[in-house]
A and B are shown apart, each in its own frame.
Chain A
Amino acid sequence: RKEVEQDPGPFNVPEGATVAFNCTYSNSASQSFFWYRQDCRKEPKLLMSVYSSGNEDGRFTAQLNRASQYISLLIRDSKLSDSATYLCVVNRMDSSYKLIFGSGTRLLVRP
């Protein structure tokens, strides 16, 4: 089983739609969770951290479900500029800090 698993998509949605991505992780001891965004041929950039209580940043909402070991990202009122690959990131809990990336979910927002 992969440490971090995501549906690769692509999710093809119209502008203004609401879209949700899920990500599952295998290490129940993981403590740090993030969503990153990666545009084509660019480096990944932090979109938002994911906190236990859930958090919201404008049109983006992230949730953590420790019992089921998944995190989610909800995007409301999709914009054309939201088209990108969204990467789920979890830290591997051992003696040192390592961030493990999922393979990403591709989002295409059409006019």
Chain B
Amino acid sequence: ETGVTQTPRHLVMGMTNKKSLKCEQHLGHNAMYWYKQSAKKPLELMFVYSLEERVENNSVPSRFSPECPNSSHLFLHLHTLQPEDSALYLCASSQEGGRGLGTEAFFGQGTRLTVV
């Protein structure tokens, strides 16, 4: 398997549920990202992990909780979500070269989340 793989591809959950999104990259990259794309809105950067350490959290609500156990895996744990959290959640990876430099990002196919 190559590239960036996300599971599940589709998820419907109630506001009281707890679920997790999974991302795995097979590119040997050292940085992974979660982006959110709502309908007719640009990609919003949610979390960045570089070398397994979280380096960015753009004031994302605490009902979203990321986890990066190693450089190849990234999770997004979801709990008590709201209907407005329905969106496409995209995972990406890239190679960070230090001092703010790096390569292009490669994306997974995304998880389309619907909160009911």
Contact = CB atoms under 8 A, between A and B. Distances in A.
A94 interface: yes
A97 B50 contact: yes
Contact residues of B: prevailing secondary structure:
strand
A46 B100 contact: no
A1 interface: no
Interface residues of B, number: 29
B110 A43 contact: yes
Given A43-B90, A103-B42, A98 B104 contact: no
B74 interface: no
A104 B100 contact: no
Interface of B: 31, 33, 35, 41-43, 45, 48, 50, 55-56, 88, 90, 92, 94, 96-97, 100-110, 112
Interface of A: 29, 31-32, 34, 41-46, 49, 87, 89, 91-104
